Amino acid sequence: MIERSFTMIDPQGLHARPASALVKVAKPFGADIKLVADKAVSLKNLMQVLSLGIAPGTTFTVTAEGDDEAAALEAVTQALQSEKLAE
């Protein structure tokens, strides 16, 4: 398992449009990808991701475990940065 921590920089936090983009990036990977804030949820499930209510300034972690975990974590990292959500 590998993981990377981020801080939410979007002034609106993690809302529907960017959350949907993250789920779309995560779904093709075989790895189990989790978004961890107060609890851990699947990054492949939009409703679970939105349930975290990640607000601006919140630190969160993305974990990936499986055969393509490195590629999955890199793709999610790229999506977070290109959407200007986290650093």
Asked if residues 27 and 45 have their Cβ atoms less than 8 Å apart, the reply is no
Amino acid at 57: G
Catalogue all structural domains in the chain, each as residue range(s) with its CATH number.
2-82 (3.30.1340.10)
**Rounded CA separation 8/83 (Å):** 11
pLDDT tens string 18-77: 999 999 999 999 999 999 999 999 999 999 999 999 999 999 999 999 999 999 999 999
**Residues ≥6 apart with Cβ < 8 Å to 64:** 1, 2, 3, 29, 31, 32, 33, 34, 70, 72, 73, 76
Given 15, 24, 27, 39, the catalytic residue: 15
Q: Is 15 a catalytic residue?
A: yes
**Rounded CA separation 69/7 (Å):** 21
